[in-house]
Amino acid sequence: MMNTFDLKNHALSSDSGESVFGLEHTGSHACYMIYGVLKPGQNKRVITPGKGHEEMVLAVKGNFEMSGRFNGHLREGCAFYVAGEDTVYLQNTETTDACYVIAGGHSQDAHHH
């Protein structure tokens, strides 16, 4: 039987509002996935993959305001890609919780330290 991890409920019960599925569960440094919840009016979520990393960000529920490397709106069901030291800020400007997923990994030729 395959093991599953309840990202949503773990994120909702976490102080950070996020749950990470990665090395601890897979034993691999190759990739990770983050499920996050931003409450209305909560501080912005800073997305900076870091040197040697790349991330794809998907708005799962709700709409977000983006600033930094990209400016504008991230609508539910839409995604963007960011790499390295580029920084994007997400903010929930709605009146209900908004959810996002970040999938990331190492860039080609990058090594985990």
Sheet containing 72-74: order of strands? 45-47, 88-92, 64-68, 72-74
In a domain, 22, yes or no: yes
Q: What is the pLDDT of residue 2?
A: 65
In a domain, 102, yes or no: no
In a domain, 82, yes or no: no
**Are the CB atoms for 99 and 36 separated by under 8 Å?**
yes
pLDDT, tens only, 54-67: 999 999 999 999 99
In a domain, 41, yes or no: yes
In a domain, 111, yes or no: no
Q: What is the pLDDT of residue 39?
A: 92
Number of domains in the chain: 1
**Are the CB atoms for 42 and 56 separated by under 8 Å?**
no
In a domain, 103, yes or no: no
pTM above 0.75, yes or no: yes
Task: Tell whether the model's pLDDT for residue 113 goes beyond 60.
Answer: no
In a domain, 16, yes or no: yes
* β-pairing verdict for 18-21 and 31-38: antiparallel
Q: What is the mean pLDDT of the chain?
A: 88
In a domain, 104, yes or no: no
pLDDT, tens only, 7-54: 888 888 888 888 888 777 777 778 899 999 999 988 899 999 999 999
| SS3 annotation, 48-71 | CCEEEEEEEEEEEECCEEEEECCC
Domain span including residue 16: 7-76+87-95
